[in-house]
Every structure is written in C-alpha cells, then in structure tokens.
Amino acid sequence: MIREIVEATKCKIDINDDGTIKIAATDIAQAQQAIDWIRGIVAEPEIGVIYTGKVVKTADFGAFVNFLGSKDGLVHISELQQGRVAKTTDVVNQGDAVKVKVIGFDDRGKVKLSMRVVDQATGADITDQVGAKPQRTERDDRGGDRGDRGGERRGGRDRPRYAGGGDNPYPVDGDQPPVGD
C-alpha cells in the first residue's frame, strides 16, 4: 500500500516503529495527496461527520457508498432524499459522487449513512431543516409495540369476560342465560 502511495504521489514516506509517519515531498499538493490517502486508510468513520463518497453499488433497499478511503456504508432507500423513493436508481446510480453523513452503525458494525440530511450541492448538514428520523429500537424491528391484545381469552376491551374462558357463553358478572334457551 505504501509503495502505491509513493508511486502515485512521488513522495517519500517513512513509518517509524512507534507509528509516526513522515512524508517528504517537493510539491505541497503531492504531500497533501499522500496525507489524505494515509488518513483515509487509518481513519475511522465518526457519527455526525459528513464525507464525500462514490456510489459503488445500488440495490432495491438502498445504495452502497465508498467514502473515507476504502470504507463502505449503506444509504438505506429511506435516507436517499426527503419523501418516498420508489427505486434507488431514481435518485443515484453507480459511479455518482455524493455527500453522506454517518448516522450510526448496525449491530454488526456496518456504517449507516444518510444523503437526506446533507445538502448535496453545498455539503451542509440540513438535519435541523428536514428533521432526523427517530432511531429504531429492537422492538420496532419486530413490528413495534402491538399494544393490548384484549387481555383475557375471547374478550377484548369492549367485550365482557366469560366465566371459565373457552366457549362458555355466560358473562362473569352473573347474568343468567335468557329464558327459553
């Protein structure tokens, strides 16, 4: 990797045993290119930081974006833009340059990104203007809180409870069957 950086930037790079990296170059632009490249390799994505990336793959559920050197993350279809998106390719295509904000990490450490909260023209964070979506909890992933299902068997909130449950037709409150049954 270091050889590739040296060849591409024409810089001299020394890495000491303590992790210190020294870059020497005759051109400041080449030195900066080498610094940025190395930072992209060693940097970790931070929540809330906006990066410029490139769409490397689209899928029905969103787009994979390469950012911060060799890091990839997913922009879910709901985070592509404001409003409903029918198809990922209606908004982005493979090879597009986009600005993304790191909004979190999933349970496997994968990076979750959003384009919806970033002004694509300026790269400004517009979360305050468009509003952040609430983070989903584990319970939400299973369909949310389903609420009261009626408590006792065969009786909901609006129905009387029946003695003994099951198919007994007589309410608990002591009502007797109608005469003639």
124-173 pLDDT, tens digit per residue, is: 999 888 877 766 555 454 454 555 454 444 445 555 555 555 555 555 55
Residue 114 within a domain: yes
Question: Between these two residues, 68 and 138, which has the higher pLDDT value?
Answer: 68
Same domain, yes or no, for 29 and 88?
no
Question: Between these two residues, 103 and 146, which has the higher pLDDT value?
Answer: 103
Whose structure tokens read 């198809």?
87
In this predicted structure, the answer to whether residue 79 has a pLDDT above a threshold of 90 is yes
In this predicted structure, the answer to whether residue 64 has a pLDDT above a threshold of 80 is yes
What value does the mean pLDDT take over residues 70-83?
92
Give the contacts of 110 (CB within 8 A, at least 6 positions apart): 73, 74
> 8: which 2 tokens?
């591409």
**How many Cβ atoms are within 10 Å of 181's Cβ, its own excluded?**
6
Q: What pLDDT does residue 159 have?
A: 54
Same domain, yes or no, for 66 and 87?
yes
Residue 98 within a domain: yes
DSSP label at 143? T
Find, among 111, 18, 117, 20, the residue nearest to 70 by Cα: 111
Q: Domain of 128?
A: 46-135
Q: What CATH number is attached to the domain comprising 54?
A: 2.40.50.140
The torsion angles phi and psi of 67, rounded to 5 degrees, stand at -145, 170
Residue 56 within a domain: yes
Chain length of the chain:
181
pTM metric for this prediction? 0.60
% residues pLDDT > 70 (the chain): 73
DSSP label at 171? B
Q: What CATH number is attached to the domain comprising 2?
A: 3.30.1370.10
Same domain, yes or no, for 96 and 33?
no
Same domain, yes or no, for 28 and 54?
no
Residue 127 within a domain: yes
- Please, are residues 89 and 63 in contact by the beta-carbon 8 Å criterion? no
Question: Between these two residues, 97 and 145, which has the higher pLDDT value?
Answer: 97
How many separate domains does the chain show? 2
